Chain A
Amino acid sequence: MALIEFQNVSKWFPHSTGRALLRTHIAQWFGAEHKEKFVALKNVSFRLDPGESLAIVGSNGAGKSTLLSLAAGLATPNAGRVIVNGHLAALLELGSGFHPDLTGSENLLLNSALLGRSRKQTLELAEKIVDFSGIRDFIDDPLRNYSSGMVMRLAFSIAIHTEPDIMLLDEVLAVGDSGFQAKCREALLDFQRAGKSILFVSHSPGHVLQMCERAIWLDHGELVMEGDAASVLDAYSGGLALKQQAGDQGA
Chain B
Amino acid sequence: MWNGDYWFVIRSLVAKDFKVRYRNMSLGVLWSLLNPLIMMSVMTFITTQIFSSTMKHYPLAVLCGLVPFNFFSLAWLTGTVSLLENASLIKRVPVPRQIFPIASVLSNCMHLVIQIGLLLALVLVFGSGVNIYWLWLPVIWVLEIIFVLGLALTFSAINVYVRDTRYVVESANTILFWLVPIFYSFAAIPARFRTVYEFNPVAALVMMMRTILLEGQAPAMSTLRNLVCVSLFTFIGGWLIFRKLKQGFYEYL
Instruction: Give the B-binding residues of A (Cβ under 8 A).
Output: 13-14, 19-22, 25, 69, 72-76, 84, 87-88, 90, 92-93, 96-97, 99, 101-102, 106, 109-110, 113-119, 122
Contact = CB atoms under 8 A, between A and B. Distances in A.
A113 B9 contact: yes
Contact of A92 (B3, B15, B92): B92
A90 B93 CA distance: 7
Nearest to B162: A22
Contacts of A22: 162, 164
A93 B163 contact: no
Given A20-B163, A69-B91, A97-B89, A113 B4 contact: yes
**Chain B: number of interface residues, binned into ranges:** 20 to 34
B13 interface: yes
Contact of B251 (A14, A96, A97): A14
A106 B86 CA distance: 18
Contacts of B163: 20-21
Contacts of A20: 160-163, 252
Majority SS of interface residues in chain A? loop
A72 B94 contact: yes
Contact of B162 (A25, A97, A117): A25
Interface in B99-147: none
Nearest to A110: B12
B16 A118 contact: no
Nearest to A76: B247
B88 interface: yes
A110 B247 CA distance: 25
A55 to B, nearest CB: 20
B24 interface: yes
B160 A74 contact: no
Interface in B1-52: 1-5, 8-9, 11-13, 15-16, 19-20, 23-24
A117 B161 CA distance: 31
B250 interface: yes
